[in-house]
Amino acid sequence: MFIGWWRETGLALLQCATATPLSQLFSHPQHRHTAPARVFSCTISVDFRTEDQNDMCKTLRVRWTIIPKTAPQPWIACGGCGGLRAFQSSGKIRLNANGRKLDAWLIYKCLTCERTWNRPILERRNVRDIGPAVLEALQSNDPHWIRAETFNLDALRHKSLRVDEFAEVEIAKEIQHETTNWTRLAIELTVPVATSTRLDRLLASELKLSRSKLQALHAEGMVRTDPEKADILRRRIRNRTVVTIDLSMETERERSWKPLATGNYAVEQ
């Protein structure tokens, strides 16, 4: 079953379609996917271009988009209550124009006394050098743009020696390709803003596995990652990491693994 597209999925498909010659996409006579849309086949060919068609036809492919719930909190010397305190974004931008120069700050508040701290976003920047989209976002207090900026860890670390991060995340799961008789699960992780969540913690909690079991499966080659790096499971989740799990020995693929992977717990007849 196909759940639906996100806007960025559509974009990715479009990019696939333009990047891969059609002859390459449809050159396999044994192609047996049930997906009717041509772009769909395109995705499969591009994503698994290093693997043979048989493997593709055995893979349930999903995308998890990982969104942290709480933005990082810098610790700043507070002029209100004294001492180092955690500050939280107010979601508001302050602008100051001086001739053609523009300053922009994101306003934070002390979690103890609510004294504000202005985090510089732009300093003495010539208006002509600011992209129209950024300018518009700053002038309209665009909540999406501001939210993304509150997760700008590098910028925060530049201003504060201590930045607290929060591991709690929301996960949107969508099916990208499914097939009957699948034996492998491929999870593409999309991480639009930095998260401190470790890959093994995410997989363990979402797939109801212990982390030691996960490590063992990884050591045996039953769990693979792309890119494959030493101790990748213990590191924070990186955007576009793909985790592939060989479930050919599992009998509970449809009943147990699929709902966990897809987030779809509806009973199918």
Structure tokens at 42: 């395109």
The closest residue (CB) to Zn ion is 110
d(CA 124, CA 104): 9
Q: Which is nearer to Zn ion, 11 or 113 (CB)?
A: 113
CB nearer to Zn ion: pick between 53 and 116: 116
Q: Which pair of structure tokens corresponds to residue 235?
A: 């590191």
Rank residues 82 and 192 by Cβ distance to Zn ion and give the closer one.
82
Q: Which is nearer to Zn ion, 76 or 186 (CB)?
A: 76
Size of the site for Zn ion (CB under 5 A): 8
If binding is defined by CB under 5 A, does position 81 make contact with Zn ion? yes
Residue (of 117, 115, 118) closest to 80 by Cα position = 115
- Contact between 79 and Zn ion by CB under 5 A: the answer reads no
Question: What is the smallest separation between the CB atom of 103 and Zn ion, expressed in angstroms?
Answer: 23
Q: Distance (Å, rounded) from C-alpha 84 to C-alpha 176?
A: 46
CA 19 – CA 71 distance, rounded (Å): 36
Question: Residue 110 interacts with Zn ion (CB under 5 A)?
Answer: yes
Cβ atoms < 10 Å from Cβ of 251? 8
Binding to Zn ion (CB under 5 A): which residues in 111-150? 112-113, 115
- Between residue 145 and residue 204, which ones bind Zn ion under the rule CB under 5 A? none
**Comparison of 51 and 114: residue with beta carbon closer to Zn ion:** 114
Amino acid at 163: V
Say how far apart CA 225 and CA 247 lie, in whole Å.
Answer: 15
Residue 85 touching Zn ion (CB under 5 A): yes
C-beta of residue 198 within 8 angstroms of C-beta of residue 80:
no
State yes or no: residue 76 binds Zn ion (CB under 5 A).
Answer: no
Which residues would be at the binding site for Zn ion (CB under 5 A)? 78, 80-81, 85, 110, 112-113, 115
